[in-house]
Amino acid sequence: MWHIKEQKMNIRFLIITIFGLLISISLIGQEYKNLDFSLILADCYKNDTISISINDIKIIESEIVTSDFSTGLTNISIFQDKKNLVIHSNKAESTKAKISLDKNIKVKLTVGKREYSKNINLKKGKIIVVDYCNRQNDKREITKTIDFQQHKKTVEFD
C-alpha cells in the first residue's frame, strides 16, 4: 500500500514538473515575440575598440571589447522590446528611448578605424549576431572582417 502512494506522489511530481517546464517555455517564447530586435557581439573580438549606431543613433561609443574564450561572447548586447532600448556593456546596463523602426534597421559598427554598415531586414530574423573573425577575401587574403548573422529563433552559445 505504501509503495502505491509513493508511486502516485512521484507521478504527480513528474506531471507538475513537466507542466512547469511547458509554461516556462511558452513564457520565454512570448518574451522573444515582444522583442523588436536583439544585437549581440560574439566571436573573435580581442581588446577591440568599438562604436555602434543603429538608424544613425549612437548607442555605444569607444568601448573596448574582448570575446570570452569559453563562450565566444562579449559583454556587449543590445535589445529593444516594446518599452525601450536596453544596452548591456562593460560599463553598465542602461536604457534609452525606443528607436523608431520599420521592417529594417541600419547598423553601423566601427572597430578601430574600420567602419562596417549593414541594412538589416528584421523579417529575416530579429536576433543579430555580429562577429569579427578571420575570413578570406576576394584576393584570397585572410583578414579580420565583420559578419552579421540573423536568426529567427533563440540562439544557443556553447
Q: Are residues 70 and 12 in the same domain?
A: no
Q: Per mean pLDDT, which range of 33-37, 81-85, 112-116 is the poorest? A: 33-37
Q: Tell me if 85 is assigned to some domain.
A: yes
Q: Tell me if 12 is assigned to some domain.
A: yes
Q: Are residues 73 and 143 in the same domain?
A: yes
Domain span at residue 21 reads: 1-33
Q: Per mean pLDDT, which range of 33-37, 120-124, 146-150 is the poorest? A: 33-37
**Which cell goes with 46?**
580581442
How far apart CA 103 and CA 14 sit, in angstroms, is 43
pLDDT of residue 29: 44
Q: Per mean pLDDT, which range of 2-6, 21-25, 70-74, 109-113 is the poorest? A: 21-25
100 and 56 Cβ atoms separated by less than 8 Å: no
pLDDT, tens digit (0-9, with 9 covering 90-100), for 24-79: 443 344 445 678 999 999 899 999 999 999 999 999 999 999 998 888 888 899 99
How far apart CA 42 and CA 10 sit, in angstroms, is 42
Element (H, E) at 2: helix 2-33
Number of domains in the chain: 2
Q: Tell me if 157 is assigned to some domain.
A: no
99 and 55 Cβ atoms separated by less than 8 Å: yes
Please give the share of the chain, as a percent, with pLDDT higher than 70. Answer: 76
How far apart CA 81 and CA 72 sit, in angstroms, is 25
DSSP for 92-154, please give it: -EEEEPPPP-SSEEEEEEEETTEEEEEEEEGGG-SEEEEEEEEEE-TTS-EEEEEEEEEESS-
